[in-house]
Amino acid sequence: MTQKISIPETDLVVHPLCLGGNVFGWSADGAQSFAILDAYVEAGGNFIDTADVYSEWKPGNKGGESETIIGNWMKSRGNRSEMVIATKVAKLSTRPGLSPENISAALEDSLRRLQTDYIDLYYSHEDDAKTPMEQTLLRYTELISVGKIRYIGASQHTGARLADALELSKRDGYAAYVALQDQYNLVERNPFESEQEEVVRSYGISAIPFFGLAKGFLSGKYRPGVAVDSVRADGVLSYQNEKGWALIELLDQLSRKYGSSISAISLAWLRSNPAVSTPIASARTVEQLREIVQIVELEDADIDALDRASA
């Protein structure tokens, strides 16, 4: 059985793979989403990441579709207390920003859709320079005090802004961000390594990176001359070059060595960074879920080889 991990500065104990909910209500319908969620739990999973804005971008959607599916699934399975749920505020067009009023309103919307009375990890989905940081953190502190939120995290914040928030919390006694969520993977190593990782490490909090598989490129389904039918296909065109294909070839070799999927190797490289608690990856099918949920521990030499190939 896969050993769960503790997220620093919290009492959250989670599976080493956080299941991304961005596909629910977008490229995976309700029935497909339920099957993926069931398969994740059967594999020992308990950590799901979503946002109020998922998936507003799909024609006909209004946002909140992912939360609604997850809420319906938890109600039907009766497992809310067993799950660690992360969601976010700031990016939904009808609930933008991090003003105290918007945070409270957006949280109530998310609680209703998720059919729960608390959120385990609530992220500021992006920075909001228009709202004083003190106001945002004070409102989070108030919501934690009444039990509607357990912990808060920051998504898509620069290292400098994250450090400012953490210092403000320390100085004035506000609730503090316990995690940073931003893009980080073998083909997109910055800005995390260049300016966010130092902040994460120095404050002893977690990186919980999204796009751990670089929009699917690091799953191995993209190959030279192969057309891939995916809503994300255009987003990986910049990776399809000599360096990218060489990296895929190395991942192929390592997947054979460890008897695992290429996705599992890519995610294992992320976990090898002590600053990372657990990466986020999503699955559109149960077959994809089974590939990403495999947990591999890489040898140091293989970590070094991936470091060099992706530098």
Q: What are the tens digits of pLDDT across the range 218-266?
A: 999 889 877 777 766 677 889 999 999 999 999 999 999 999 999 999 9
Per annotation, catalytic residue among 40, 54, 174, 177 = 54
Contact 46, 2 (CB under 8 A): no
- Does residue 22 belong to any structural domain of this protein? yes
Q: How much of the chain, in percent, has pLDDT values that exceed 90?
A: 94
Q: What is the tens place of the pLDDT at every residue in 131-173? A: 999 999 999 999 999 999 999 999 999 999 999 999 999 999 9
Residue 205 lies in a domain: yes
- pLDDT of 2 > 90? The answer is no
CATH value at residue 35: 3.20.20.100
pLDDT value for 236: 87
Q: pLDDT at residue 181 above 90? A: yes
How many angstroms separate the Cα of 5 from the Cα of each of 2, 112, 293?
10, 29, 14
The answer as to whether 67 is a domain residue is: yes
Task: For residue 108, give its domain range.
Answer: 5-216+276-296
* Residue 13 in this model has a pLDDT that exceeds 90: yes
Percent above pLDDT 70 for the chain: 99
State how many domains the chain has: 1
- In-domain check, residue 239: no
| Catalytic-residue membership of 122 | no
Closest among 121, 156, 122, 115 to 136, alpha carbons compared: 122
- The structure tokens listed for 189 are 């190593």
Q: What pLDDT sits at residue 189? A: 98
Q: How high is the pLDDT of residue 93?
A: 98
Tokens of 261: 């999927």
pLDDT above 80: residue 1: no
pLDDT at residue 31 in the model:
98
Confidence grade of residue 33 (pLDDT, cut at 50, 70, 90): very high
- Model's pTM, two decimal places? 0.96
78 in any annotated domain: yes
Average pLDDT over residues 123-128: 98
Average pLDDT (195-201) is 98
Backbone torsions φ then ψ of 87, nearest 5 degrees: -140, 180
User: What is the pLDDT, as a whole number, of residue 133?
Assistant: 98
Identify whether 229 is part of a domain. no
The two structure tokens encoding residue 229: 């039918």
pLDDT attached to residue 156: 97
Q: What is the pLDDT of residue 305?
A: 98
Evaluate if residue 46 carries a pLDDT over 90: yes
Q: What is the mean pLDDT of residues 22-38?
A: 97
The pLDDT score that the predictor gives to residue 226 is 79
Average pLDDT, the chain: 96
Return the pLDDT at 242.
94
Is 109's pLDDT higher than 90?
Answer: yes
Determine, yes or no, domain membership for 84.
Answer: yes
pLDDT of 230:
76
Is 97's pLDDT higher than 90? yes
94 vs 229: which has the higher pLDDT: 94
Question: What's the half-sphere exposure (Cβ side, CA atoms, 13 Å) at 108?
Answer: 5
pLDDT band at residue 297 under the 50/70/90 scheme: very high
On whether residue 106 sits in a domain, the answer given is yes
Give the model's pLDDT for residue 55. 94
Sign of CA pseudo-dihedral 281, 286, 292, 295: positive
